[in-house]
Structure 1
Amino acid sequence: MENEAVAMALYEKGWCIIDDFISEDFRKELLQEQQEILAHGQFRHAGIGKGDDFKIKPEIRSDKVSWMDYHLLTPLQSWYWEMMEELRMAINQRCFLGLRSFEAHFAMYPPGSFYLRHLDQFQDVKYRVVTVILYLNDHWDDDDGGALRMYFPGENGEETSVDVYPQGGRLVVFLSGEIPHEVLLTKKERVSITGWFRDIEY
């Protein structure tokens, strides 16, 4: 039912939050895999833009990422990919978004890092339609910072915002091209799998 609830919320308001989307054991296994990939030096500084416009700009974003290769998924990643495939089909059935593929990476924000306000759709490449973020952290207090802040139009032209803290097992889903957001300064290491449903094939 969770997938249907996500799809309905996406249809009605464009975003949703689901706590405990995965089991605690699966979360710990994914976090352990992320730590091993990090220890092997497979994370790279994240940038902005696409193709020739790609640039590393730590004044805008200071996280590190390790992309998952669809053709070389580990068993744990394959399991998560299957969960995302079920979610993709549920969203398509409810929202008619024509989602055809999924891409994702592990994201790690070291202490003191952030990502300024942005949209997940590139200006010239609009194939990212739905953003899906799964947090993997062991423990998180609000005082640790690192919230995802999403912005929404309010009354009289004034904006409102919602802060989502990266509690382990929490899933956040929103329309990539419609909801501006940022990651606030984090005081400790912040880990997620960040992915996008796309309207193109692999």
Structure 2
Amino acid sequence: MEEILDRISAEIYSNSYVVIDGFIEEEFRVALLEEQTRLLNEGKFRQAAVGTGDKKQIRTEIRNDQVLWMEADQLTPLQAAYWDKVDQVRKAINQRCFLGLKSFEGHFARYPIGSFYIRHLDQFNQVPHRVVTVILYLNDSWSQEDEGALRMYFPQEDGSERVEDVLPVGGRLVVFLSGEIPHEVLPTKKERISITGWLKDID
């Protein structure tokens, strides 16, 4: 784990993002996926919205995934175990990058077949305290034909953009600076499951 944490902090420092395969053990991934499935079957998920406060609204032309927010004081044992791992990531990034990260918020995210989330930034005027985005994929299997990639955009000095697509392979962790990397979820041909969250600079 120490080697993984060192790599995460080093690549966030130098590249603003990192992709880590096999971040969690397979048994843990399966257990998290089974818990997500149970919560979904219990009707706990809700249509994802955009905006916050009075400006919060469901806009399916922007995103049409479903989410279940995790409450920090009501975590299941599995969720708490994952939060502990994210807290190790938080401490490692703080030690190397001095970002003043203090807390984490996150939710299960489910993209049904055909769903997507158009290009956006995770940090904007209404949520300025999201500093680092942390995504863990829980899918049993994934291939290029399933599509549904996370597409990230990187501005180049000549004014162009470099594009990188990351498939949501189970156990894969993606970490990036929330205010620097525009990204989108491309339409998926298979149900797509993750835990998506943000390390914040407030408690």
- The interval holding the TM-score normalised by the smaller chain is over 0.9
Deviations 1:43-76 (A, max 9, x none): 0000111111111000000000000010000000
1:197 correspondence with 2:199: yes
* Alignment partner, residue 175 of structure 1: 177
2:158 counterpart SS class: helix
Q: 1:71 aligns to what SS in structure 2?
A: coil
The equivalent of 1:40 in structure 2 is: 42
Give the unaligned 5+ runs of structure 1: none
Instruction: State the partner residue of 1:71.
Output: 73
CA contact (8 A) 1:50 1:122 kept: no
Contact preservation (8 Å) 1:49, 1:122: no
Partner of 2:51: 49
Does the 8 A contact of 2:51 with 2:126 survive in 1?
Answer: no
Task: Indicate the SS of the match to 1:7.
Answer: helix
How many residues are treated as equivalent by the alignment? 201
Partner in structure 2 of residue 131 of structure 1: 133
Q: Return the alpha-carbon distance in structure 1 between the equivalents of residues 176 and 58 of structure 2.
A: 25
CA drift of 1:124 comes to 3.1
Deviations 1:67-107 (A, max 9, x none): 00100000000100110111100000000000000000000
Query: Does the CA contact (< 8 Å) of 2:109 and 2:194 recur in 1?
Result: yes
The amino acid that maps onto 2:45 is F
Amino acid at match of 2:38: E
Q: Which runs of 5+ in 2 are unaligned?
A: none
Match of 1:23 in 2: 25
Aligned partner of 1:85: which letter?
D
TM-score of the two chains, using structure 2 as the length reference: 0.98
Question: Cα deviation per residue 1:98-124 (whole Å; 9 max; x = unaligned)?
Answer: 000000000000000000000001323
- Cα distance in 2 for residues equivalent to 1:59 and 1:173: 26
Cα displacement (A) at 1:42 = 0.4
- For residue 86 of structure 2, what is the aligned residue in structure 1? 84
**Deviation digits for residues 157-187 of structure 1 (CA, Å, limit 9, x no counterpart):** 1111000000000000000001000000000
Shift of 1:155: 4.0
Report the counterpart of residue 98 of structure 1 in structure 2: 100
C-alpha separation in 2, matches of 1:35 and 1:187 = 18
Q: TM-score, normalised by structure 1?
A: 0.98
Deviation >6 Å, runs of 4+: none
- Which shows bigger deviation, 159-168 or 147-156? 147-156
Is 1:110 aligned to 2:121, yes or no? no
> Partners of 1:36 and 1:129 in 2: how far apart?
31
Aligned to 2:190: 188
Letter in 1 for 2:128: K
